[in-house]
Amino acid sequence: MDYQSAYFEFLCRLGDNALILGHRISEWCGHGPTLEEDIALANIALDLIGEATVWLELAAGVENKRRTANDLAMLRDAWEFRNVLLVEQPNGDFGQTIMRQYLFDAWHVLVLTALAESRELPVAAAAAKIKKEAQYHLLRSRNTVIGLGDGTPESHRRMQAALDWSYPYVGELFERDEIDHTVEQKGVVNQSANLWDHYYEEISSTLQRATLQIPAAPHSHSGGKNGQQHSEHLGHILTQLQWLQRAYPGAQW
């Protein structure tokens, strides 16, 4: 794979993860368990969708086919999306949403830290700025996981169920393929960054404080980041996300 194609796909992965998770979290707007949580989730969703705009604008520029970030978000079909399966899974109850968010946030901050040292200056600048928001997201989701996991028997039960459900999707975050190798060789991301060891140290410490047990996870769900095997949930997300642009092409407001 040539560098331009790999770089484009890599940027789409970053943008698609943020876009799809942001949309998922936005579904809580007006339905949060408390007013504070409702507002907080809505703001996190806005942060992620703003991040998606940054990465997809960079991707559109790299592709150089007269497409915009809006085109990439609103006019691609499900098999063209490159997000991991974790972010497209249903919200479930509040505990499931928070656990999914924490597992993503812990990875997200590590990736952005590595990207802040990128040789591609636009990537480094974007990552350094986005990391500030992501660190807040991680602080919040980590503390919520601890509070609920080490809370009442019912909240503990729900958080353990959420972890058991979410953890098999974590492995895909660390899968590496030809695209990753190509951009690493060009210095887009720091090759020396051993993300898994730092990630496992982070989640092990947090989940221990939350009195939760990391499941054995004998298998890992994957196929999203290469577009080969998205879950059925992505199609439903895109039906909601894209319907206006599909129904009224070129609509602006």
Mean pLDDT (whole number) for 225-229: 91
Q: In this structure, what are the phi and psi dihedrals at residue 118, rounded to the nearest 5 degrees?
A: -65, 150
pTM value surpassing 0.85: yes
- pLDDT band at 212; cut points 50, 70, 90: very high
Domain 3-247, second-level architecture: Up-down Bundle (1.20)
- Comparing 110-124, 216-230, 236-250, the range with the smallest average pLDDT is 216-230
Q: What is the pLDDT at residue 251?
A: 80
Q: Is the dihedral of CA 243, 10, 5, 128 positive or negative?
A: positive
Tokens 């499941």 sit on residue: 215
Express the helix, strand and coil content of the chain in percent, nearest 5 each: 70, 0, 30
Query: Region 113-131: what's the mean pLDDT?
Result: 97
The structural domains of the chain, with segments of one domain joined by +, span 3-247
DSSP letter for 28, please: T
